[in-house]
Each structure stands twice: as C-alpha cells, then as structure tokens.
Amino acid sequence: MGDGRHETRTTAAVDPVIRARGVLPALRSDAAASDRRNRLTVSVLAALGSAGLLGLRGTEGRDGRQLDCNTIGAVVATLAEEHASAAWVVGSFARAAVQVAADPVLARAASEHGEGLLIADAHGAPARAAAVKGGFRLTGLWHSVPGSAHADLALVSFVLPGGDPEHPVRAVLPMPQLTRHETWDAAGARGASPETLEAEGVFVRADAVGAAGLRRGYDPAHAIVPASTVVGAASGALDHALASVRNRPWPGTRYETAAESATIQGKLTDAAMHISSARLHLHRAATSADRYAADAAAMPPEVRIRSRVDIGCATSAAVSALDSVMSAIGAQAVAETAPFERAWRDVQTLSRHAAVDPLTAREAFGHFLVGRGGALHEIPL
C-alpha cells in the first residue's frame, strides 16, 4: 500500500505497548486533522504502520504469546491519550486479527486475499444468508465499523439458513464487495470513520464459513476496545491538565499558579483516582475474557454479567475523571484548540456505546444479584 500503513519487520520483538507510547508525538500533531477529515490522516497511518500497530497479529502479545485482551486494552488506552479515533481503529483491527487467527477456516480465507491486510471488525447484528450452490449469499448491514475506510477486509457475522440467531457464524469479505455508507455524524471519534457496511447478495463459499464463536449478545472482549479508548482519552486529558496548571496564573486568588490551589489539587486528585479505578475494572474484565478464551470454554453467565458491569464502571469512572479535569481547567478546556475539548467529545461519544453503557450494565448485574438470588462470592475471580 502506498500510504505506508503496514508494519516494518524490525518492530516484531518490541512490546506493543512500548511501540504505542513511541508514536504519541506523531498522533498528537495530527489528531485535529483526522477529526476534520473524518478519517485517519496518511501521517497517522504511516506512524501506526511503522510501529507495527495496525493489524496487530494474533501472536504479537508480550513475549510472543497470543495477543490478549489486556495487551489490546493497554495499547488502545495508550494511543487514546493523544488520539482516541486512532486508538479505536487500532483496537478494532487487533480484535478482528485475533478472531481470524484463532479460526483456521477464517485464517485460510483471509490469507487467500494476501498477507498483512487490515481487517475491520464488523461486530453487531448479523446479516441474513440464503443457501446457493457452493455456499451462501449474504444480505445485510453492519453499522459503525471503525476504520472501515482503511481496511482491506471485513470480518462479518451472519445467520445460516435455519441457524441459531444467538450464535451467528463469521466470514471474511473483501471490502470492494461491500458498499460503504458514511453514516457517522457524531461529535466525537470522527477520525475513526466508523461507516456502515452493506452486503447485497455477496457470495461466501461454504468452506470459508468460520465457526460460531461470538454470541449475538454481550461480548466482553469486544467491549474492551471502546472502554479502553474512553479510559485512555480521560487519562491523556489529565496528563495535559497536570502540565497546564503547573505554570498557569491563577488571578483573583492568593495563589501565583493554579497548581498551588487546594481546590485544583483536589479536582485533579479525584480525576487520578477515578482513572485508577477504571483501569482496575478494565483489567479484571480483560483477565476474565482472556481466561475463558484460553480455556476454549464458554464464559459463565455470572462472569459475563460481572465483566459487563466492570466495563460499565470503568467507563463511568473515566467520564467522572474527565469532568473533574474540565472543571479544574475551566472555560479554557472547551476551546477548540485545546486537547481537552477533543477528548471531551470523544469520551462523551464513545461512553454512550451500547457495549460500555454503565446503566445497562447495572441493570443486568442488579438482576443477577436480586432477581436471581445471586451473590458476589458465587462469581469466580
């Protein structure tokens, strides 16, 4: 590809989180441009590709192990400190790569189109399939697919004729066979270009259909990506705030700088504690997802529910952290040239993602605790 987005061979042995930290200066300088263009800029794609962060492979985890949810979450959160849109795209591509690598049928189908291709994760309501000679014809829509403008392939889900809608199967489709609709009109995460993908009678060979791995319902491993994006963006805003208040005059008070004010210190302390709480909740949710994925066992319903509320709590804590940061900075935080304003838009947008919504998570967990007579000690850690 001429945009320089694919990784170099020299990055493979370096921890992907360290690589993510190394590209933050490049992301910082181009984040606003990505927002204006409604897609990642060539410079951002080149930086991510050179660092080996686009299309992270399923075996690029720490020490060469399988790329797990904790590693993906850490990479996403790091990138989101400066560029939430890029973080969401990288995480989505990584999740798709892991799913494809874990299924021999999908891995073979993807390799038929070439090596090192970027795969968009079209997670959501499955399409319909009609049986035809040699395979199936797919018709349907997949909404809000991050990075679809930059992907080569799409990992899609669909229900086989007479199949179980709760356990759709998957396939890898070339992007040219799909119609892309620019339907994202939200205030935040504009650079991720999460378009709607449409299939109209697209053929899939019967021997290229992957296993029914993901349930149509809640998938904690999928939710880790938007939740980590929210937490990382809030954390980056806090870092910018700490740098800002150290030398910022504080007129109308007895303090020379904002950093000397106990009120400002308290607000930023609250933000730091909220972010610490968010990271702990995310870590437990990701660890649970990794544990059951590694054991090839279905996640028990009580663990799935607890993971959902963990992700919801992480999101809620990150939103609270950013509120404290914005309050500490004051009116300057909402200036269009300030990094806080973009972080606020991104967090407010992605925190309303259905997969990370804290209110829905609370309802599900409350139903387990009260409606079914569950207890915390019944949920394995």
What are the average pLDDT values for consecutive 10-residue runs of the chain, which has 381 residues? Answer: 46 78 94 91 94 72 62 96 96 91 92 92 87 96 94 94 86 96 90 94 95 64 93 96 87 82 94 98 93 69 88 96 94 84 94 88 82 65 58
Residues 21 and 127 in one domain: no
Residue for token pair 């009580």:
302
The pLDDT, as a whole number, for residue 208 is 95
Indicate whether 233 belongs to any domain.
yes
Query: Contact, 277 vs 317, CB < 8 A?
Result: yes
Q: Is residue 28 part of a domain?
A: yes
Do 255 and 372 belong to one domain? yes
- Please give the tally of structural domains in the chain: 3
Distant-in-sequence, close-in-space partners of 12: CB < 8 Å, separation ≥ 6:
52, 60
Give the per-residue pLDDT at 375.
Answer: 63
Give me the pLDDT at residue 361, please: 83
Q: Looking at 62, 87, 111, which one is the last position of a domain?
A: 111
36: CATH: 1.10.540.10
CA 258 to chain centre: 34
Beta strands in 185-294 (DSSP E): 195-205
Residues 85 and 229 reside in one and the same domain = no
CB neighbours of 294 closer than 8 A, spacing ≥ 6?
66
Q: What is the pLDDT of residue 332?
A: 84
Structural domain boundaries, residue 75: 9-111
What CATH number has the domain bearing residue 196?
Answer: 2.40.110.10
- For position 285, which CATH number holds? 1.20.140.10
**pLDDT value at residue 281:** 96
Last residue within a domain, chosen from 69, 88, 111: 111
* Domain match, 266 and 232 both: yes
Query: Measuring CA to CA, how many Å separate 230 from each of 301, 313, 314, 350, 373?
Result: 25, 12, 9, 7, 33
Same-domain pairing of 346 and 364: yes
pLDDT at residue 373, as a whole number: 59
pTM of the entire structure?
0.90
Q: Are 34 and 79 in contact (CB under 8 A)?
A: no
- In-domain check, residue 297: yes
Domain end position, chosen among 208, 243, 268: 208
Rounded Cα distance between 138 and 204, Å, is 7
Half-sphere exposure of 188 (CA within 13 A, CB side): 24
Q: What is the pLDDT of residue 218?
A: 65
Q: Beta-strand (E) ranges in the chain?
A: 119-121, 127-132, 135-145, 153-159, 169-174, 179-181, 195-205
